[in-house]
Amino acid sequence: MDQGFLPITREEMAAHGWEQADFVYVIGDAYVDHPSFGHAIISRVLKAQGFRVAILSQPDWRREESIQVFGRPRLGFLVSAGNMDSMVNHYTVSKKRRKSDAYTPGGQTGKRPDYATIVYCQLIRRVYKNIPIVIGGIEASLRRLAHYDYWSDRLKHSILIDSGADLISYGMGERSVAEIAEALQAGIPVQEITFIAGTVFKCKKLPEEKDILRLPDFQELKEDKRAYARSFYIQYCNTDAISGRRLAERYEDFYVVQNPPARPLTTPEMDAVYALPYMGTYHPAYEARGGVPAIAEIRFSLVSNRGCFGGCSFCALTFHQGRTVQVRSHESLLDEAKRMTEENGFKGYIHDVGGPTANFRAPSCQKQLTRGVCPNRQCLFPKPCPNLTVDHTDYLALLRKLRALPGVKKVFIRSGLRFDYMLADQDDSFLEELCRYHVSGQLKVAPEHVSEPVLRRMGKPPRPVFEEFSRRYRAVNERLGQKQYLVPYLMSSHPGCGMKEAVELAEFVRDLGYMPEQVQDFYPTPSTISTCMYYTGLDPRTMEPVYVPKDPHEKALQRALIQYRDPKNRDLIEEALVRAGRQDLIGYGPKCLLRPRHGRQGPSGPAGGPGKEARCPKEKGHGAGEHTGPRPPRKKRTIRNIHKKKS
């Protein structure tokens, strides 16, 4: 059975004619055979090599028999928590339990455990003592060495230790998993598989190689946050397949060793991965439970690239996919789009053509292909590198071909777009075609903040860059006669953001004339520069101290400031402005964020500001409070008026 889903039950395995699987792939998600899901790609790559892979989706971790559905696999278990870290999947940034899970049939919650990779591996070890276990996916990839865990608020071991697994396949995994499978097939004991790029292993004694970088021991990391910041930055500077070195971290009497990353896929290799016979949707067994919600966003979308040289501090892409951009060919994408137009439910709209950053369709410079990315310099921050190649022509050509396909009405771009990269392009052709063909009323971009100290910690371009892009975007739309708006993503409580910087962001929102419906609090997830700052209070790139807002109430104040027009935030906004020493923003002036309370004077007189400047023109909805404009003057309580009222 070359076509069809891989087996998810013993009966389906028998229908394939297998008595035993080579690998049982344990996943925390429902089984969706679509290349936007990591387990689909890895299982299809292995099947294309001739290995028999059975999918064990969301086993009940409280029951040992749930891991025995397929019996003992011939070569080993593969384990992944799913497309998301299980803790991010379960909890909001305020550590409240989420109400739905888009990767589970019917959106049901509670179908996977916290720290799913660890729990699944421990379950396997109780049943099958010595079987090889290889872990991968985003959860294992970003926890491959000692890491700060936000949910327990402590430094944790490499996940290799706590899980009891033998190997980690980190990053995207196609190369390393295929090589691991071949090594196991050749009879090499899993403990001796220490030579594969893109893997992490344990050993008692370090290999005798000069290029191994010794990281501080785990005990030192626990005792000294400065040591952890230094260690993290060494890891960050060794995430490139060409320039990266082996890293070793000692735990008492053994080491955890990270091999350099696997080589990025070439375009033909990417094409081959996406040409595998995916079914393109979830297993039919889930239909009765309402299907898998996550498919809705990606079913009619195209993945055109991987990797990102944007280098945002709060993003883990550098650690997971790397900074070298890898792309699929036009032919590969057009073939997939043609198949898409023939599917039931396709209404003529391709929802996205992109990846981590949609408008990156080539490495940032040619040097990366032979010497690797610069370990301690960014391509776009603090300003574009002189060697940066800025060119949208390939992406434009691809979009034009997709628009011309029979049956395609509209091609949207919903992946992130780097506006600073667009701005660095002297040719406005891409921006014009973006506005003309690929935006539906609103273009979402991510300045994240406007305060210079915060942007510097975030690795984002300065405020004038966003303002210039806004001006050009507006000018292009006016020239096209289209009413389309720019919607900025904004983040509160990022390291470096105090009350002064939060008020500066609120003033930006005021001048923008737009109140965000949702505000993203900074979420400390494993293996980002920002999370390192959150934990250590240091910027690992410079070792400078960084202010970190951790108090939940202060974070609520910062979030409320961005949504200052919402009346329910009134008390929080007033407290925030007082804390920041910005009572000048409480009053009736056109720049004020908050009206004074009834019967209460402002900070500098009845109107909340000095002299006439504090008196506000009649305007609606300018600040939070009980009323939205200046109160009408009261009539004098004269005897005549009182008698009139009584009569």
Position 611 confidence tier, pLDDT thresholds 50, 70, 90: very low
CB 350 within 8 A of CB 411: yes
Mean pLDDT for the stretch of residues 487-507: 96
**CATH class of the structural domain 10-201:** alpha beta
CB-CB neighbours of 15 under 10 Å: 12
E strand or H helix at 349: strand 349-350
pLDDT number for residue 628: 35
CB 479 within 8 A of CB 400: no
- Indicate if the pLDDT at residue 610 is higher than 80: no
pLDDT number for residue 629: 37
pLDDT number for residue 141: 98
Geometric angle at alpha carbon 286, from 284 and 287, rounded to 5°? 70
Helix boundaries (H) for 262-364: 267-274, 295-298, 317-320, 330-341
Q: Which of 357, 315, 318, 321 is nearest to 525 (CA)?
A: 315
Q: Radius of gyration of the chain from Cα atoms?
A: 28
Convert 185-201 to b/e letters by CB count within 10 Å (16 or more is b). Answer: eeeeebeebbebbbbbb
pLDDT number for residue 96: 96
- Indicate if the pLDDT at residue 623 is higher than 90: no
Position 3 confidence tier, pLDDT thresholds 50, 70, 90: low
What confidence tens digit (pLDDT) does each residue in 203-213 have?
A: 999 987 778 99
pLDDT number for residue 600: 52
Convert 610-644 to b/e letters by CB count within 10 Å (16 or more is b). Answer: eeeebebeeeeebbbbeeeeeeeeeeeeeeeeeee
E strand or H helix at 154: strand 154-156
pLDDT number for residue 598: 72
Mean pLDDT for the stretch of residues 539-554: 97
CB 6 within 8 A of CB 55: yes
pLDDT number for residue 161: 97
pLDDT number for residue 369: 87
Distance CA 641, CA 447 (A): 57
What confidence tens digit (pLDDT) does each residue in 227-273 have?
A: 999 999 999 999 999 999 999 999 999 999 999 999 999 999 999 99
Question: Considering only 71-80, 575-584, 623-632, which range has the smallest mean pLDDT?
Answer: 623-632
CB 146 within 8 A of CB 231: yes
Taking each helix axis as running N to C, give the angle between helix 570-579 and helix 499-512, from 0 to 180 degrees, rounded to the nearest 10: 120
What confidence tens digit (pLDDT) does each residue in 58-107 have?
A: 999 999 999 999 999 999 999 999 999 999 999 999 999 999 999 999 99
Mean pLDDT for the stretch of residues 377-389: 93
Distance CA 307, CA 326 (A): 6
Mean pLDDT for the stretch of residues 581-596: 95
Mean pLDDT for the stretch of residues 106-116: 97
Q: Which two tokens stand for residue 463?
A: 């405020």
Percentage, residues of the chain above pLDDT 70 = 92
Q: What is the 3-state secondary structure (H, E, C) of 548-568?
A: CCCCHHHHHHHHHHHCCCCHH
Secondary structure (DSSP) of 460-524: ---HHHHHHHHHHHHHHHHHHT---EEEEEEEES-TT--HHHHHHHHHHHHHHT---S--EE---
- Indicate if the pLDDT at residue 587 is higher than 80: yes
Same topology, domains 10-201 and 441-558? Answer is no
CB 604 within 8 A of CB 610: yes
- Indicate if the pLDDT at residue 547 is higher than 70: yes
- Indicate if the pLDDT at residue 625 is higher than 70: no
Place of tokens 């962001």: 505
E strand or H helix at 100: none
Mean pLDDT for the stretch of residues 447-470: 96
Say if pTM beats, i.e. exceeds, 0.85. yes
Secondary structure (DSSP) of 180-203: HHHHHHTT--GGG----TTEEEEE
C-alpha torsion angle, residues 73, 74, 76, 77 (rounded to 10): -20
CB 233 within 8 A of CB 540: yes
Q: 133-136 and 53-57: which strand pairing? A: unpaired
Question: Considering only 192-196, 538-542, 620-624, which range has the smallest mean pLDDT?
Answer: 620-624
Q: 167-169 and 199-203: which strand pairing? A: antiparallel
Distance CA 37, CA 432 (A): 33
pLDDT, greater one: 47 or 618: 47
pLDDT number for residue 513: 83
Q: Which two tokens stand for residue 181?
A: 């499978």
CB 94 within 8 A of CB 37: no
C-alpha torsion angle, residues 64, 56, 263, 131 (rounded to 10): 40
pLDDT, greater one: 82 or 604: 82
Mean pLDDT for the stretch of residues 488-508: 97
pLDDT number for residue 83: 96
Q: Which two tokens stand for residue 158?
A: 């490499």
Position 515 confidence tier, pLDDT thresholds 50, 70, 90: confident
Mean residue pLDDT of the chain comes to 91
Secondary structure (DSSP) of 231-289: HHHHHHTT--TTT---EEEEETTEEEEEPPPPPPPPHHHHHHHHTS---SSB-GGGGGG
Q: 410-411 and 352-354: which strand pairing? A: unpaired
Q: Domain ranges for the chain, please list them.
A: 10-201, 266-277+294-418+425-435, 441-558
pLDDT number for residue 335: 97
CB 525 within 8 A of CB 150: yes
- Indicate if the pLDDT at residue 631 is higher than 50: no
Q: Which two tokens stand for residue 480?
A: 């096209």
- Indicate if the pLDDT at residue 577 is higher than 80: yes
Integer angstrom CA distances of residue 83 from 27, 32, 102, 164, 455: 9, 11, 10, 21, 29
| CATH, domain range 441-558 | 3.30.750.200
CB 47 within 8 A of CB 6: yes
Distance CA 42, CA 53 (A): 10
Geometric angle at alpha carbon 276, from 58 and 27, rounded to 5°? 10
Distance CA 428, CA 476 (A): 9
Distance CA 401, CA 462 (A): 35
